[in-house]
Structure 1
Amino acid sequence: MPAPSRFARQKAEARGRLAELAAAWLLRLKGYRILAERFQAKGGEIDIVARKGGVLVFVEVKLRRDLETARLAVTDGNQRRIRSAADAWLARHERRADVPLRYDIAAVSPRGLRHIKDAFR
């Protein structure tokens, strides 16, 4: 299979950014405070870091054709990279290190958006 063209990559990147924007707004509407978006660390990236009440939430946003496929797109490897990036975020924000943590998924499709709490550990 040939590598995607530059245009195709740019288009996919733009769709991904829109999905992340929609997920961040959904979280805000649900009462979450967005602390960071697109946080990058050596071990990986976190799409959204949010807080609600006393819980710090690391959210992976996945855009696919349907919500179930989006949920299933967060593989074990993705989870390891997200946890690694979360550790890096916590190391840079020591005052939050004692807060309970949760890993969520924001599944996005052309037909909807679903926030899946405590999707993995």
Structure 2
Amino acid sequence: MSEPANRKKAYRKGFIAEYIAAMFLLFKGYRICALRHKTKLGEIDIIAKKGDLAIFVEVKARKKAQTGIDAVSHASQSRIKNASDLWLAKQRDAQKLSQRYDIIVITPTSFPAHFLDAF
């Protein structure tokens, strides 16, 4: 498969994984505030709220949950935290919000694995 075809396939796989993760969060009672939120400091896959809790979610599609967790590097975590600071700065209720950083791993053979407060 050519490089552009591989990139397109990976993009599609990531998009579908993020959509599944968002539906999973809705089912768990979260309100989705943003999907693929882009800032000058990085992208956040999903931003969701539940009460006074804002969660910033990194979504990974992998064959095993552990490889999904391992794929979120310290550099990725730092980028997500910096991007979340920018998002929070634009929220009127930012002072009331608690923050949490989660990882959701989408695997082909099971329900999404949701790791709360992962980093």
Q: Does TM-score exceed 0.5, indicating one fold?
A: yes
2:99 counterpart of 1:88: no
Q: TM-score, normalised by structure 2?
A: 0.93
1:48 aligned counterpart, secondary structure: strand
Q: TM-score, normalised by structure 1?
A: 0.92
Which residue number in structure 1 is paired with residue 113 of structure 2? 114
Which residue number in structure 1 is paired with residue 22 of structure 2? 24
Unaligned runs of 5+ in 2: none
Higher strand share: 1
The answer to whether the 8 Å contact 1:56/1:101 transfers is: yes
Out of 65, 70, 73, the residue aligned to residue 75 of structure 1 is: 73
Q: Once superposed, what is the RMSD of the aligned Cα atoms? A: 1.2
Q: Percent sequence identity over matched residues?
A: 44
Runs of 4+ aligned structure 1 residues displaced above 3 Å come to none
> 5 Å matches for 1:10-21?
10-21=8-19
CA distance in 2 between partners of 1:22 and 1:69 (Å): 18
| 1:33 CA drift (Å) | 0.4
Which residue number in structure 2 is paired with residue 46 of structure 1? 44
Unaligned runs of 5+ in 1: none
State the number of aligned residues: 117
| 1:14 CA drift (Å) | 0.2
2:96 aligned counterpart, secondary structure: coil
CA distance in 1 between partners of 2:71 and 2:65 (Å): 10
